[in-house]
Structure 1
Amino acid sequence: MDAADTAADSAARATAPEVALAVALTGEQQKFRHTLRDLLAERAGPGENRAATPEGYDTGLWARLSDTLGLAGLALPAEYGGAGRGPAELALACEETGRALAPSPLLATAVLTAPLIAALGTPAQRAELLPRIADGSLTCALAVPGGSLALALGLTGDNAAEHWSGGGRAGGIQARAVDGGGAGAGTGGTGWRLYGEAAQVLDGHTADLLLVAAHTGGFARSRTLLFLVREREGGTPGVVRTRRTALDPTRPQAGVELRDAEAELLGEEPADVLGALAATGRTAAVMLAAEAVGAAGAALDRALAHLGSRGQPQAHAHEQAHAHEQAHAHAQALAAKGTLADLYVRVEAARSLTYCAAREPGPGPESGPLALAQALEALRATTGESARLHGGDSAEDQEARLFFQRAASDELLFGPARRLRARAAERTGLFGEVAA
């Protein structure tokens, strides 16, 4: 057995479930991971195509994930019905949902929206909304203007320096105080009206609650605030939601139009909305990295299984032609095994960075975005090789394409990796004036 065979076989053994993580897990975390993986294997997976449902996900599975494992409230405080766990447990959950490409409200509700409500909401808003999020009965979506989600979260640029929410000019989403609303407007669902459009709202077509970032105050007093727009039975006046075709069908998106839509201010002014968005972005980057690592690991496992299932070529009438095909197939297999061994190292490095960022602040507040950059690159490379190896029209080939589509979609929504790194370098002053 040559070096390429040895490296690939070692990589294949190392991707077994018991030793897939390059970081230590507690016994409780191991049990949680196995339970979640078994449940997802039963009800989810690329072949299930649960995103084709009207909701964009399996509502029964989400109910079980919330009831059995407390997934929706995993990181919420116990006082609001959550489990009070840290980012490491939530990252573990995201890795498993990413591994299965399982459509669910986890990212939009628990990762992007719930932390903002917990950080900025009034006591009454937190008491009303967070317990319903924790038990899985309330799903949420974060709506920002245009395609600026990564910028709004401070991942690819300074969300305080660029007018992504409208900047007091035409475009974006504008908020107008009515009925003498002023600073406290929005109490009880009155006092504000929203106008504008958000083009790429994750789970926006079915979320029970929209958390909308809007610009208000005009150009002279320009500021961005967050508003609650509640779904009503029969539809919300002034709100038009349209599910849109997404590059990644397992991550449903919607366009949301706001036409004099009634809204409630989240929290009270003054509030550091941009700072809260950036903090949420740093945590979300870790969870997105965990999803990407899970998907990359699954794509790598599929590629190894596919390579191993390639039997010897069928017998030919002419022995010389048979020997030539055998030699060619062996050479291809050796090259593929060497490539997959290299990809295994990249995936494990991304996994290690992700869990380091989840378990402690790390070498600065940019550890999450840097882990995301590494994970996105590993996902892109791994899914590309997996799709190349499958390269046909069978069910397995279609599933390999789904993993590749997840990689491309995440780069568009939250990257690209070079911009994540450039923003991290700018914030930390890593390259001094060059980064600036």
Structure 2
Amino acid sequence: MDPGFTAEQDEIRRTLRALLHERCGPGELRAALDTPTGHDPALWAALAEQLGLPGLALPERHGGVGCPRTDLALAAEETGRVLAPTPLLATSVLAAPLILALGSDAQRARLLPPITDGTLTAALAVPAPALATALALTGPGGGDWAGGGRAGGVQARPADGGRWRLYGEAAQVLDGHSAGLLLVAAHTGGFVRSRTLLFLVAGDAPGVVRTRQTALDATRAQARVQLRHVEAELLGDDSADGGADGGADGGAGGCAVDEGAAVRRALADVGDFAAAFLACEAVGAAGRALERTVEYLGQRVQFGRTIGSFQAVQHRLADVYVRIQAARSAAYYAAWATGRRGSAPDGAMYDAPDGAMYDAPDDAPDGVARDAGGLALAQALEALRLAASEAVQLHGGIGFTWEHEAHLYFKRAAGDELLFGPVHRLRAHAAERAALFTRTEVTV
């Protein structure tokens, strides 16, 4: 692993920081949070037009920039610094890679170009609170998290004309209230052929009811999505007879494969990438929270001295700095590791730079640790929580007010842990996969 950044990565980060500094200050951030969409469409358009950020990690043949996923994860550190409320996580990190990995050629050609140019946003809809489970961050990703054939979640049934009908609801859908495309995880097959598949639904399709939810972290807009017998398209279906026939007899593209297993593998891969992305976001936010705290402590005078000159305060800041630096190293490693296991342009999983393909995370290239993303996310969330807590306390009375930024960083830490954690489950899942605590029988 080369710990240094490439010239392209440095340029992406520098340009992105300058743009966000100009377009996403504290005032602009609060104004964006009060809009119906929860983000500034003009900022999103600028990120797409000037940097190509939505398509940074998508292949050039689909209109993307063609950079490795590492570059997008590293760019997240800059968006995290300012808590930029954009559809980047929902669209480019969660939804687009699934379309790339599982979609048919026609679906990729139709959906990925508008995603890369920023004109189409997408959201991954899974039943709440199963997002971390679906992404295999806190568990193996199997089970009945999508409904299991029972009440709850989203159910799919074949319809006339080779289509599907979905009914049910999903809550805590990131940017689900404003996304033009919904990627819905739905249970199908009943009890005999039970499996979870992914379906494409237009955000404004008849029968779709979307309501923005009040979230702890206002910078991550969430929605409740209700599907009332909505017509849907199976992701990956390019059979001549349509979605229902292709979904019943084969996998993506009509191949006779275990569709449910393919979906689980794709979701696990996206979860590993999302964890690295979120870890970089968290260390960026933690670093900015520490910077703002140091600035304030260098200005506030108490007992005739600046607060930052007191040794006890310096010790607390030093502890935060060490935790952030350790989390940053872990996040950078996770970003590098997920780049080594990216998706190939044709949708094949785990494409290494040497062109080799890997069927599962366990078969990753030598030197690439498993679960690096989840462990880095756990460490980054802890660092952000510590940095934000110290920011609130060391700012004194103003740190507790709604007008101050400190509480936004604290809520980002708490909100991400609720959505993608908790921290102890992220670590426990990594320990389970590594068989650290497997009991061995000893014969005397």
What is the CA–CA distance in structure 2 between the aligned matches of 1:66 and 1:28, rounded to whole Å?
17
Aligned pair partner of 2:11 in 31, 43, 48? 31
Residue 88 of structure 1 and its aligned partner are, at CA, apart by 2.0
Would you say the 8 A contact 2:297–2:307 is kept in 1?
no
> Against the structure 1 CA distance between its residues 68 and 230, is the aligned structure 2 distance closer, same or farther, given a 3 Å change threshold?
same
Aligned pair partner of 1:399 in 405, 419, 424? 405
Residue 363 of structure 1 and its aligned partner are, at CA, apart by 4.1
> Which residue identity lines up with residue 415 of structure 1 in the other structure?
G
Q: Secondary structure at the match of 1:201?
A: strand
- Range moving further from structure 2, 150-159 or 362-371: 362-371
Q: Secondary structure at the match of 1:229?
A: strand
> Which residue identity lines up with residue 381 of structure 2 in the other structure?
L
> Against the structure 1 CA distance between its residues 231 and 118, is the aligned structure 2 distance closer, same or farther, given a 3 Å change threshold?
same
Residue 66 of structure 1 and its aligned partner are, at CA, apart by 0.5
For structure 2, the 5+ residue unaligned runs are 238-249, 252-258, 341-366
Residue 371 of structure 1 and its aligned partner are, at CA, apart by 0.6
1:15-414 → structure 2 map (5 Å cutoff):
23-48=3-28, 49=30, 50-160=32-142, 162-179=143-160, 181=162, 191-232=163-204, 236-268=205-237, 269-270=250-251, 271=259, 272-311=262-301, 313=302, 325-326=303-304, 333-360=310-337, 363-393=368-398, 398-414=404-420
Q: Secondary structure at the match of 1:356?
A: helix
RMSD of aligned C-alpha atoms? 1.9
**Residues 11-55 of structure 1: CA deviation (Å, up to 9, x unaligned):** xxxxxxxxxxx9422233222211111110111134421121111
Residue 67 of structure 1 and its aligned partner are, at CA, apart by 0.7
- Range moving further from structure 2, 359-368 or 141-150: 359-368
Residue 430 of structure 1 and its aligned partner are, at CA, apart by 2.3
Is residue 2:427 matched to residue 1:421?
Answer: yes
What is the CA–CA distance in structure 1 between the aligned matches of 2:226 and 2:434, rounded to whole Å?
37
Q: Secondary structure at the match of 2:93?
A: helix
Larger Rg, first or second structure (1 or 2) = 1
- Range moving further from structure 2, 388-397 or 53-62: 388-397
> Which residue identity lines up with residue 335 of structure 1 in the other structure?
A
Residue 196 of structure 1 and its aligned partner are, at CA, apart by 0.8
> Which residue identity lines up with residue 18 of structure 2 in the other structure?
D
**Residues 145-202 of structure 1: CA deviation (Å, up to 9, x unaligned):** 1211000000001211x21000111111101111164xxxxxxxxx111111111000
What is the CA–CA distance in structure 1 between the aligned matches of 2:236 and 2:376, rounded to whole Å?
31
Residue 108 of structure 1 and its aligned partner are, at CA, apart by 0.2
What is the CA–CA distance in structure 1 between the aligned matches of 2:390 and 2:3, rounded to whole Å?
25
What is the CA–CA distance in structure 2 between the aligned matches of 1:413 and 1:163, rounded to whole Å?
18
Residue 393 of structure 1 and its aligned partner are, at CA, apart by 3.9
Length-normalised TM-score, structure 2: 0.84
Count of residues in Structure 1 that have an aligned counterpart in Structure 2: 387
Identity %: 61
Length-normalised TM-score, structure 1: 0.85
Residue 56 of structure 1 and its aligned partner are, at CA, apart by 1.1
> Against the structure 1 CA distance between its residues 390 and 285, is the aligned structure 2 distance closer, same or farther, given a 3 Å change threshold?
same
Would you say the 8 A contact 1:307–1:333 is kept in 2?
no
What is the CA–CA distance in structure 2 between the aligned matches of 1:67 and 1:169, rounded to whole Å?
45
For structure 1, the 5+ residue unaligned runs are 1-21, 182-190, 314-324
Residue 326 of structure 1 and its aligned partner are, at CA, apart by 4.7
What is the CA–CA distance in structure 2 between the aligned matches of 1:391 and 1:177, rounded to whole Å?
59
